[in-house]
Amino acid sequence: MRIKAVPTVGAIQRTTMVVALSTAAFLLIAASPASAVSCILGAALMVANLFALSWIAQTMFVLARQAGGATTVGLIVAPMKMLLLVGIVFLIVESGRVNIVGFVAGTLTQFAAIFIEVGRVLIGTSSAPPC
């Protein structure tokens, strides 16, 4: 099977927000307001992470194109972003102010959104507007 298109970052981000809001609404009813807020926090962190990853990748390609190959900055930036993400998650969890189950549910919404968008591409429908 050939894939004719790939999901866009924008489509994944929009789907993440829809899944996160649905999950938070469910958690608000089934669990607690704290878990719903933590779910939104986890999803927002994942959206920010994907946005940063997209921006870093574009910047790395521009730098590599200008330099005629890979650069030291390009090789260091992506792992540093990941280290920053780990640090932010550590601080959030260590603060004890978030509901861990809700936070994890929020972070997992982006994975669900990726699967949804890949499924949409495979069956030929898209949530992204045509270009």
Domain boundaries, the chain: 9-121
Give the contacts of 107 (CB within 8 A, at least 6 positions apart): 42, 43, 45, 46
Output the pLDDT for position 73: 80
Other C-beta atoms closer than 10 Å to the C-beta of 15 total: 22
Whether the pLDDT of residue 125 is over 80: the answer is no
Output the pLDDT for position 78: 83
Alpha helix (H) ranges present in 31-69?
A: 33-67
Whether the pLDDT of residue 128 is over 60: the answer is no
Average pLDDT of the segment spanning 8-17: 94
